[in-house]
């Protein structure tokens, strides 16, 4: 509190204007036990100091200071004497005296103002109003007790603060982990929502297939070739539909079906289907395939068109389209034909390779003769 007083009050200017009567001071020192009603010293305070006290009390920051506290600051700095803070007589007397002095300054100026400011007022201090050493010891003991209690309370508060800080750190770490988990969950949720949307689209699409209903004729109403084609398609569909069997460690070996007439049809998955190639055909079958190839090349019939033609009713008697394609590749491999240079239409063959092939054929002919 003295720092606040020193900061807001010009003490050095007025520290010499508060004087204690020396005679009374000596008597107070000599007498350890004195009548409490006896005046032990007299204060001599100039009017200028009393006016400064009244002005200081008028400041907003100085409302918490009493006149006794202001007086004690002067006495402690200069004489090492303190007055009891709860002394109402001194507080009220100084208040009236300061107010009276400030009113006396009104209307004065110049030399009259200076003379009035330098005049002193006397204020008697009684023995019972002085703070003794025993009183200071009692107050110091109380302050020490309060200090110990405050230190214990401060230690408890510090421990509580440390515990709260540790809890705060743990909660912050938990919050961070929770936020990370929440972000991961949001990412997973977005992925699941995206996959779910794709599955919904896929489900809507396959739902339009009318439950995979067969729109063609029943199996018993078609002929052998169409039946074999349907069996091949069914074999593929069944294998795709039962893909999950492998997840149980099981492998599909065969499937058995019965048609409307009660005839059973077995699909075997243990033996791989092997298509009969062009080179495996007999000479008669090869000649038939070559005739078909000649017709398709002559009338510019494409492979896809010929395949569709073999799938129609009566087309089962024609050679398979893959045999015609293999025949074409085989015949093309017998000689190499390239386009003639320039814009003119035509083809050219390699003389060296053709001559070699011709000599080989002639040599074989004479060998058999």
Average pLDDT over residues 234-243: 77
Average pLDDT over residues 263-291: 78
φ and ψ of 119, to 5 deg: -65, 150
**Burial class of residue 104 in the structure, from the number of CB atoms within 10 Å of its CB (0-12 exposed, 13-18 middle, 19+ buried):** middle
What is residue 226's DSSP assignment? H
Average pLDDT over residues 147-152: 92
Structure tokens at 279: 């080179």
Structure tokens at 130: 């002085």
From CA 233, how far away is CA 204, in angstroms rounded?
A: 24
- How many other β-carbons are positioned within 10 Å of the β-carbon of residue 234? 16
Question: By percentage, how much of the chain surpasses pLDDT 90?
Answer: 10
Q: Using an 8 Å Cβ cutoff, are 44 and 19 in contact?
A: yes
Of 11, 137, 26, the C-alpha closest to 72 is 11
Of 4-18, 85-99, 193-207, 303-317, the poorest mean pLDDT is in 4-18
* Cα atoms in the Cβ-side hemisphere of radius 13 Å centred on 168: 6
Q: What pLDDT digit, counting tens, does each position of 43-67 carry?
A: 888 888 888 888 887 775 555 778 8
The pLDDT value given to residue 162: 92
Max distance between CA atoms of the chain, in angstroms, equals 172
From CA 105, how far away is CA 103, in angstroms rounded?
A: 5
Judged against a pLDDT cut of 80, whether residue 236 lies above it is answered with: no
Residues 47, 48, 50: CA angle, nearest 5 degrees:
60
Q: What pLDDT digit, counting tens, does each position of 221-234 carry?
A: 777 778 777 887 78
Q: What is the pTM of this model?
A: 0.36
The pLDDT value given to residue 118: 86
Judged against a pLDDT cut of 80, whether residue 101 lies above it is answered with: yes
Q: What pLDDT digit, counting tens, does each position of 321-356 carry?
A: 888 888 888 888 777 667 677 777 776 777 777 788
- How many other β-carbons are positioned within 10 Å of the β-carbon of residue 3? 7
């Amino acid at each position: 509190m003295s720092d606040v007083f020193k900061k807001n009050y010009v003490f050095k200017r007025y520290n010499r204007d508060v004087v204690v009567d020396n005679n009374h001071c000596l008597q107070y020192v000599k007498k350890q036990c004195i009548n409490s009603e006896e005046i032990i010293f007299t204060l001599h305070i100039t009017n200028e100091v009393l006016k400064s006290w009244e002005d200081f009390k008028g400041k907003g920051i100085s409302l918490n200071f009493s006149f006794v506290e202001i007086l004690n600051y002067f006495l402690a700095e200069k004489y090492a004497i303190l007055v009891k803070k709860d002394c109402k007589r001194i507080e009220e007397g100084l208040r009236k005296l300061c107010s009276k002095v400030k009113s006396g300054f009104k209307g004065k100026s110049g030399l009259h103002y200076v003379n009035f400011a330098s005049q002193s007022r006397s204020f008697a201090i009684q023995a019972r109003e002085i703070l003794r050493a025993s009183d200071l010891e009692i107050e110091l003991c109380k302050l020490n007790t309060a200090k110990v209690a405050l230190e214990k309370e401060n230690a408890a508060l510090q421990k509580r603060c440390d515990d709260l800080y540790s809890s705060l750190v743990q909660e912050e770490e938990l919050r961070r982990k929770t936020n990370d988990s929440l972000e991961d969950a949001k990412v997973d949720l977005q992925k699941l929502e995206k996959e779910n949307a794709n599955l919904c689209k896929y489900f809507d699409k396959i739902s339009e297939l009318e439950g995979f209903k067969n729109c063609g004729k029943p199996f018993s109403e078609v002929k052998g070739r169409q039946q074999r084609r349907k069996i091949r398609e069914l074999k593929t569909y069944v294998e795709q539909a039962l893909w999950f069997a492998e997840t149980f460690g099981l492998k599909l070996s065969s499937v058995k079906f019965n048609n409307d007439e009660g005839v059973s049809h077995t699909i075997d998955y243990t033996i791989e289907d092997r298509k009969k190639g062009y080179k495996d055909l007999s000479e008669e079958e090869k000649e038939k395939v070559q005739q078909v190839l000649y017709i398709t090349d002559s009338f510019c019939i494409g492979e896809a068109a010929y395949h569709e033609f073999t799938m129609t009713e009566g087309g089962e008697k024609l050679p398979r389209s893959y045999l015609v394609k293999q025949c074409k590749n085989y015949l093309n491999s017998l000689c190499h034909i390239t386009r003639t240079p320039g814009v003119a239409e035509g083809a050219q063959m390699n003389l060296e390779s053709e001559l070699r092939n011709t000599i080989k054929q002639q040599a074989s002919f004479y060998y058999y003769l």
